[in-house]
Amino acid sequence: MKVVVLTGGVGGAKFVLGLQHCAEVAQLTAIVNTGDDFRHLGLHVSPDIDTLLYTLSGQANAMQGWGREGESWNFMAALKGLGGPDWFNLGDGDLALHVLRTERLAQGETLSTLTAGFAQAWGIAASVLPMSDNAVATWLETDEGALPFQSYFVERQCRPVTRAIRFEGAEEARPAPGVLEALADADAVFIAPSNPWLSVDPVLAVPSIAAALRAISAPVIAISPLVGGKAVKGPTTKLMAELGIDADNEAIARHYAGLVSGLLHDSGDTPPTSVPAHSTATLMTSLDDKIRVARGAIAFAKALKA
């Protein structure tokens, strides 16, 4: 079975890891949000791609939810001592990704080829594709003015009230090589339980990715990020409230209306009525949890296809 996942960082990566452990998934492609990418200290940081790489190679820091297991922080300590900016944490080992990426992009390599190189170096069998090799930047219009994603998410810890979200450069962005091919060839497409507005929408904002999703005949299933009417992590429900949207699965289904053929949601939550729904326990703490959600998604896709 050929499976494609549209995904953001932490929550999405857990789901992709679950899929990686499903024997029936013969080919796995993750199309990853790059709207969070930014330059910090001159370095090109791709947070969601890195979370995928760390998670799929077994190097992710499980407690922290981002970065590397066993990371050290001597760069940050020295940086603070020199009066450098300390609002965004860069681990010592993590820096290798950012420094190499920055250097290779400057030499003319693309984000997709160098991401493939990193995945190969770490023995990752899945294809990890940035949604685009072109720069797309997520901006939030807030009560504190327009903020780039990381300033909102990390520096201000999601405190500003969001009025609108835009994806700079998305209209002109081309999908990275392999993205459209993987979608056209997929037996099932999943939208990971990432934040629909901040992590999935940038991917869907690339016009030909949304068009490809609408055109394919394979089932497209979104996994709801809500568990008990709340997001497991991050500002999803705060954001929904600020945008005047109810925090329920019906709202998630409507958000993806016209794109998805079904919604997989948590057993404890009310299903949507506007699309076919299927439920399982969607909280992913252990590896078994992740595999259970992945299997639930696959079973639902098969049922919809039959």
Q: Residue 200, SS3?
A: helix
Q: Is 72 in the site for a copy of itself (CB under 8 A)?
A: yes
Query: Among residues 118, 153, 190, 300, which is the contact residue for a copy of itself, using CB under 8 A?
Result: 118
Cα–chain center distance at 300: 21
The nearest distance, CB 88 to a copy of itself, in angstroms, is: 12
DSSP letter at 60?
B
**AA identity, residue 40:** H
Binding segment toward a copy of itself, per CB under 8 A, in 74-82, 138-146, 150-158, 190-198: 74-82
Q: Would you say 105 and 114 are in contact if contact means Cβ atoms under 8 Å apart? A: yes
Binding segment toward a copy of itself, per CB under 8 A, in 19-27, 79-87, 251-259, 298-306: 79-87
Q: Residue 230, SS3?
A: strand
Q: Is 94 in the site for a copy of itself (CB under 8 A)?
A: yes
The nearest distance, CB 102 to a copy of itself, in angstroms, is: 6
Query: Among residues 121, 125, 287, 303, which is the contact residue for a copy of itself, using CB under 8 A?
Result: 121
Query: Dihedral (C-alpha) 129, 135, 141, 142: value to the nearest 10 degrees?
Result: 70
How buried is 190 (Cβ within 10 angstroms: 0-12 exposed, 13-18 middle, 19+ buried)?
Answer: buried
Q: Is 299 in the site for a copy of itself (CB under 8 A)?
A: no
The nearest distance, CB 122 to a copy of itself, in angstroms, is: 7
Binding segment toward a copy of itself, per CB under 8 A, in 101-109, 209-217, 266-274, 278-286: 101-109
DSSP letter at 198?
I
**Sequence-distant (≥ 6) Cβ neighbours of residue 266 within 8 angstroms:** 224, 226, 227, 228, 279, 280, 281, 282, 283
With CB under 8 A, what is the number of residues at the site for a copy of itself?
A: 32
The nearest distance, CB 73 to a copy of itself, in angstroms, is: 8
Cα separation, 110 vs 115, in Å, equals: 8
Positions in 35-64 near a copy of itself (CB under 8 A): 41-43
Residue number with CB closer to a copy of itself (71 or 269): 71
Cα separation, 151 vs 143, in Å, equals: 14
Q: Is 145 in the site for a copy of itself (CB under 8 A)?
A: no
Where does this chain bind a copy of itself (CB under 8 A)? 41-43, 68, 71-72, 74-79, 81-84, 91-97, 99-100, 102-103, 106, 117-118, 121-122
